[in-house]
Every structure is written in structure tokens, then in C-alpha cells.
Amino acid sequence: MEHVTLDVADGVATVTLDHPEMRNALTSGVATDLIAAMDEIPDEARCVVLAGNGPTFCAGGDIDAMVDGLEGEAPAHERVERIVEETAGAVRAVATCDRPTVAKIHGPAYGAGGALAVACDVLLASESASISFGFRQVGLNVDSGASHLLPRIVGENVAKELLFTGELIDADRAKEVGLFNHVYADEAFEGRVAGMVDRIASGPTVALKQSKRLVEQGTTSSLDEAIENEAAAQIVSASADDHEEGVRAFVESREPEFEGE
């Protein structure tokens, strides 16, 4: 992979967009590499962190490709379908990861970059971070799955406002509307993110995977369906070694040492 790196250590897979010259925009190469990286995450990874190299998390879609498309001879539907397929494919690869995912946002996340951020389960931001769903700025409607992901987090009316205005909101405003889970001081950012990621990665992985799936199902399930789904999933979690460890640790008044199994 040329423009995305994958590093795995201590149960954490860190996937880094590594094309700072293009502000980590989702060019064809970056999108393809991101899909490949997500596919290559090993089983031993218990948490996935998505980050960007350089001052920008992700600048969104490939503007150069859009310009080339305008100047080329290919029909609009062909060039748009190709770009959207690649960009949306990258967002989908993150959103459908079965393990907990954390967006590590240290700078702007713009347009499809915003969609990529909200495809993660937990969004951790520095004071310098910002986010926008500015598809309107280039005369395009929302895409990359943001119409599905964004309202689930901020509600329909706030989602519409962010899409209608394309406003680039700062970290505090993003936390206020529920986009960012936490905002950390720039100088403390690395350490605070590492602490949160370690807490997630050291959890009972089987149970956390089930919880992630259940929450996602729960938005479209009735209460009775949710209870039934939870009961079925609990059989899986209770059969894992980490359940026994958790119970024993509780009885012995100590912190559990989960192995992710």
C-alpha cells in the first residue's frame, strides 16, 4: 500500500492515511489502499484506530479528479459513479469493521473526510480539529454514506443544517452537537487518545463486538426485537473465556485481565 499504512501493536491496529501532499484526500489510490488496509487487519487486533499523517485528517473527495472529469469526455454519470464507488467503498470498509473503531482527528475532516470520521464508533479530537460536510461547496449532494451515518449521531435537523450550510465547525461545536466524543488539549492529545484506545482494546473483545452490532441493529429494531437479539448475542459472549475472567475478577474484587477470547 502506497498511501495508507497499517501498524499493529498491543492489540491495536492503527490505519493511517499517508498522503499529506494531498491532505489525505480520498483519491483513487488512497481509497483503494484504505479498503485494502481494513481488509488486512489481523484477528488479534482488538481495536482499530483511523488517523491521518500531517496537519489534516482527511480533506475529502479528490478535487483534481473532479476537475479532470469536467474537462474529459466521459459522461457525467460514468465519472461520478467511479469516484463515488471508490470513496464510498472506503467509508463502507471502515463502517462495517466488526471491531471497535476510533477516529483520531487532529485537524480538518472535510466532506467525505467527515463521512470517514463518523464511520468510526468513537471520535476523539484535538482542540485544533474541525469537521465539515461541505459537499455543497462543490455543487454536490451528500454522499459517501453520510446521509445514513450523520443523522444517527446528531439527529435529522442538525444533520440537515450541517449539510445545507457546509459549515466547517470547530472541535467544541462538534462536541456540543455530539459529533466528537471527546476534545483534548493539543499538548495532551496523543496521551489521552492512547489511554482511551488502551481501555477499549483491553476490554472483552467478543462482548464488545456483539455490543457494537446490537447498537447498530437497535436503531431499527423494536424493543422486543432488541431484547431477543441481545439474548442470542449473550450466549456468544457468555461462552467466551473473558466472561469467566470477568466474573472471577468481580468476585475477587480486582480488575479483570481480558485476553480478547
pLDDT at 73: 60
| Domain assignment present for 76 | yes
Residues 32 and 109 in one domain: yes
Same domain, 83 and 140: yes
Which residue segment(s) compose the domain that 211 sits in?
205-251
Evaluated on CA atoms 184, 187, 193, 199, the torsion sign reads negative
pLDDT digits (tens, 9 = 90+) for 79-126: 667 667 789 999 999 999 999 999 999 999 999 999 999 999 999 999
pLDDT (0 to 100) of residue 77: 64
185 and 229 co-located in one domain: no
Closest to 132 measured CA to CA, from 153, 159, 152: 159
Domain co-membership, 178 together with 230: no
What is the pTM (predicted TM-score) of this model?
0.93
Q: Does 181 lie in the same domain as 214?
A: no
Average pLDDT of the chain, as a whole number: 93
Together in a domain, 186 and 227: no
Q: Is residue 258 part of a domain?
A: no
Say if residue 135 is in the same domain as residue 233: no
Q: Please check whether residue 54 lies inside any domain of the structure.
A: yes
pLDDT at residue 79, as a whole number: 62
Q: Is residue 259 part of a domain?
A: no
**What CATH number is given to the structural domain containing 237?**
1.10.12
The pLDDT of residue 80: 65
Task: Give pLDDT, residue 229.
Answer: 96
Number of residues that make up the chain: 261
Parallel, antiparallel, or unpaired for β 169-170 and 130-132? antiparallel
My answer on whether 182 and 215 are in the same domain is no
93 and 17 belong to one structural domain = yes
User: What's the pLDDT at 170?
Assistant: 97
CA distance 153 to 150: 5
Please write the tens of the pLDDT for every residue from 58-83: 998 766 666 555 555 666 566 667 66
Mind spelling out the 3-state secondary structure of 217-241? HHCCCCHHHHHHHHHHHHHHHHCCH
CB 61 within 8 A of CB 87: yes
User: Do the domain assignments include residue 187?
Assistant: yes
CATH number at residue 173: 3.90.226.10
Q: List the chain residues with pLDDT less than 50.
A: none
Residues 191 and 211 both lie in one domain: no
CA 91 – CA 219 distance, rounded (Å): 20
Q: How far apart are CA 259 and CA 202, in angstroms?
A: 7
3-state secondary structure the chain: CCCEEEEEECCEEEEEECCHHHCCCECHHHHHHHHHHHHCCCCCCCEEEEEECCCCCECCECHHHHHHHHHCCCCHHHHHHHHHHHHHHHHHHHHCCCCCEEEEECCEEECHHHHHHHCCCEEEEECCCEEECCHHHHCCCCCCCHHHHHHHHHCHHHHHHHHHHCCCEEHHHHHHCCCCCEEECHHHHHHHHHHHHHHHHCCCHHHHHHHHHHHHHHCCCCHHHHHHHHHHHHHHHHCCHHHHHHHHHHHCCCCCCCCCC
How many domains, the chain?
Answer: 2
Torsion (CA) 119, 233, 41, 154 in degrees, nearest 10: 10
Please indicate, yes or no, whether residues 98 and 140 belong to a single structural domain of this protein: yes
Same domain, 211 and 190: no
